[in-house]
Chains A and B, each alone.
Chain A
Amino acid sequence: AQSVSQHNHHVILSEAASLELGCNYSYGGTVNLFWYVQYPGQHLQLLLKYFSGDPLVKGIKGFEAEFIKSKFSFNLRKPSVQWSDTAEYFCAVNRGAGNNDMRFGAGTRLTVKP
């Protein structure tokens, strides 16, 4: 079955620490990859997306993600987190060519201690 796996359920970091959240998917073929963020009590917002081209994608708020096709991975990174980054982060995948059947990982809750 098609799936999206996020390795960490809950990550706790201190401010200024570096962040890496793992995401792996099991689709073959062309995929589009996304990271969404959900701040407490709010809806999901798009952080960044990868469709093609440079596998290192930069998003908003200093986040970036790297697509490694051979590893079926799309890990999210930020060099120095802030307290305001406390949120839940979701990796999502859909297949290319306009397929809108987007599948989400279970999410990773990030807590940043001030």
Chain B
Amino acid sequence: DAGITQSPRYKITETGRQVTLMCHQTWSHSYMFWYRQDLGHGLRLIYYSAAADITDKGEVPDGYVVSRSKTENFPLTLESATRSQTSVYFCASSDRNTIYFGEGSWLTVV
């Protein structure tokens, strides 16, 4: 029943490189989100989008860029990866008030 797919699931990249994490949902939910999960911090919202072409910053947006040209896609780009961006990234979508998560993308920046 995974209506949200993320890719890649695992990625190792070097400091300074650009990385894009892809997210695709099949539910036609208006809202989509990117969270990062770090030990001791739980989940923190990076960016969210209320609809195509509408995006807003969350708690920790610095160093990230998002776009939403189509309702079903919400890619997250790290323009110049840093070690502090090593994390697990979860994409999610929402049917009004309940959020459903993808399976996560494990990113390591070396």
Contact = CB atoms under 8 A, between A and B. Distances in A.
Interface in A24-79: 32, 34, 36, 42-46, 49, 51
A49 B22 CA distance: 28
B98 A49 contact: yes
A45 B33 CA distance: 15
B64 interface: no
Given A90-B43, A102-B45, A104-B42, A51 B97 contact: yes
A114 interface: no
Interface residues of A, number: 23
Given A44-B101, A100-B33, A101-B58, A106 B96 contact: no
A44 B90 contact: yes
Contact of A43 (B31, B33, B44, B103): B103
Given A34-B98, A45-B101, 14 more contacts: A34-B99, A36-B101, A43-B90, A46-B99, A90-B42, A92-B43, A94-B97, A100-B33, A100-B48, A100-B97, A101-B58, A102-B45, A103-B45, A103-B59
Interface of B: 31, 33, 35, 40-45, 48, 50, 58-59, 90, 94, 96-104
